[in-house]
Amino acid sequence: MTIVTRLGMGALALTFATAALPAWAQTKIEFFFPVPVEGKLAREMTRLVKLYNESQKEVEVTAVYTGGYDDTKLKAQAAAKAGKPPSVVLMSANFNVDLKLSGDIISLEPMLKADETTRDDYLKDFWPALHANAMVDGELYGVPFHNSTPLLYYNVEHFKEVGLDPAKPPRTWAELVDAAKKLTKGDRYGFLMPAGYDYLGWLMEALSMSNGGRYFNEEYGGEVYYDQPSMLGAARFVEDLIFKHKVMPQGVTEAGGVSTSFFAGKASMVLLSTGSLSFIRENMKQPYDVAFVPMNVRNAVPIGGASLVMFAGQSEESKKAGWKFIKWLTTPETLGGWSRFTGYFAPRKSSYDKPEMKDFIAKNPDAKVALDQLPYAKPWFATYQTVAVRKALEDEIQAMMNGKKKADQAVKDAQKKADELMRPYVEQTSLKLP
C-alpha cells in the first residue's frame, strides 16, 4: 500500500468519524411534565421542547405528558424504580421534601458549583416567596418554573346588577358572604370553589392562612395543624357558605366545573389559580375582574405551581444535559413567554423587565394581581407523605361539603389520619441517640 493510498484512506476514515460525531455526542433525555389546569399547555410545552432541540445539537429532549401533579409524581417514581429515571421533571413545587426524603431527586448544588455560582446568587432573581419551596434542608432541589396563587375571579355585570361596585371586590370573609348573598338568585350561586383533590388542599391552606394560622411546620416534615382554631375557622366558613348562607352548592365541584359555571353565569365569584387566567381570559364572554383572596385575620396565600427537579439514578452525562435544558427553560425570556401564554406568573423578576412583558401587563392588568399578592405569599404545604397527608384533610372537608360530617369533627379526623401517616418520619426523627 502506498503512502498516498494510506493517507487517502486515513482522510476517508477521518471524514466518516467526523460525520458521525454529532450523533455520538448527542445526549438523549426524557422530560416529564404535567398540565394541572385548563388550557392549551401541553401543546405549548411540546412546542418549547421542539424549539430547544432545534436550537442546539448536544441534547435531544423527549417531552412526555404525564397528567396532573399527583400523576406525574407517581409516573416519575415508577420510571425511576424500573431503572429508567427521567432526567428532568416539572414537579409540583411542594413535593420536594417528600421526594428528597425518599431519595428520588438529587441536590442541584453540584450543578451550581460547576457553573461557579452560589445558591444565593442563583436565586436572587427569583421572587423571595418561591425560595422556601425550592430548597430542602438548606440545599437547592428545584428550580421554579411556573407559579401561582389563588385569586378571586368575579363577574363584573353580576356585581352591577345587584348594586355592588366592581371596583371594590370583597376584601374580607364577611364582605364575601354579604356579596355572595346578593349575587345568589335562582340557579345562580354567589360563590364557588374547586373541591377536587390537590386543589381543595391548596385552597384550604389559603383560607387557614388568611385566618391567621399555619397549615404545617415549614421547618419540619412531620407536623400539620389541621385541628387548630385557624383551620377550624376556615372549615366552618366553607360549611356556612353551603349550609347556612346557601351561596355555594352542596357537594364536590371539580375545577373544570367551577370555570364552566363561571362562563355560563351560574357562579358570580370563584376561587381559582392564577394559572387559569389565560383560560378565563379566552373563554369568559362577560366582563370579569380578579382580586386578592379575601381575608379574615390577614392577607395570606400559599404559593402554588411547579418546579424543575432532576431524578436520581441517571448518568453524569444525563445530569449535565438535564441541567443545560433547565437553564434554557428558565431564562427570563422563556419564562416570560410561558407566563403570557398560561397565566402563571413568571418566577424570575427580570422577566418583567422585558419590553414584551411590560406591554403585556399594560394590556392585561389582571395579570398583575398575582404579583401584587406576592408580598403576602407563604410556602406551599410540604411534608413527609405530602399527597396522602394532604388527602387526609381533603377527604374530611369533602365529607363536610357533602353534608356527611360537621366541620369540628372533620378537622379532628383529618389531624388523626395525618398524624398516623407521618408517624414513621416522626419516630425516625425523634430517636434518642446514645
pLDDT tens digits, 142-171 = 999 999 999 999 999 999 999 999 999 999
Task: Please state the pTM of the whole predicted model.
Answer: 0.89
Model confidence at 313, pLDDT cuts 50, 70, 90, reads very high
What is the pLDDT at residue 430? Answer: 85
Q: Looking at the predicted structure, is the pLDDT value of residue 9 above 80? A: no
Q: Is pLDDT at 222 greater than 90 in this prediction?
A: yes
Query: Residue 13 has what pLDDT?
Result: 43
Min mean pLDDT across 5-19, 37-51, 81-95, 315-329 is at: 5-19
C-alpha cell at 401: 361539603
- Is the pLDDT at 71 greater than 50? The verdict is yes
Instruction: Out of 11-20, 187-196, 252-261, pick the least confident.
Output: 11-20
**pLDDT of 20 over the 60 cut:** no
Q: What percent of the chain has pLDDT over 70?
A: 92
pLDDT in tens, 27-55: 999 999 997 544 477 888 989 999 999 99
Res 16 pLDDT > 50? no
Buried b (16+ CB within 10 A) or exposed e, 245-266: bebbbeebbebebbbebbbeeb
Give the per-residue pLDDT at 38.
45
User: Is the pLDDT score of 15 beyond 60?
Assistant: no
pLDDT at 98: 92
Per-residue confidence (pLDDT) for residue 190, from 0 to 100 = 98
Task: Kindly tell me if the per-residue pLDDT of 210 is higher than 60.
Answer: yes
Going by pLDDT thresholds of 50, 70 and 90, the confidence category of residue 292 is very high
pLDDT above 70 for 19: no
Please name each of the domains of the chain with its CATH number: 27-147+304-378 (3.40.190.10), 150-301+379-429 (3.40.190.10)
Q: Calculate mean pLDDT across residues 215-227.
A: 93
> Each residue of 121-143: pLDDT tens digit?
999 999 999 999 999 989 999 99
State the chain's mean pLDDT as an integer: 91
120 burial via Cβ count (<10 Å: 0-12, 13-18, 19+):
exposed
Q: What is the pLDDT of residue 253?
A: 96
Asked whether the predicted pLDDT for residue 339 surpasses 60, the reply is yes
Residue pLDDT, tens place only, 260-272: 999 999 999 999 9
Higher pLDDT, 431 or 401: 401
Distance CA 299, CA 309 (A): 30
Please say if the pLDDT value at position 241 is more than 90.
Answer: yes
* pLDDT over 90 at 237, yes or no: yes
| pLDDT score at 2 | 38
pLDDT of 1 above 80: no
Task: Tell me what the mean pLDDT of segment 275-290 comes to.
Answer: 94
How confident is the model over 95-109, as pLDDT tens digits? 999 999 999 999 999
* Residue-level pLDDT at 43: 83
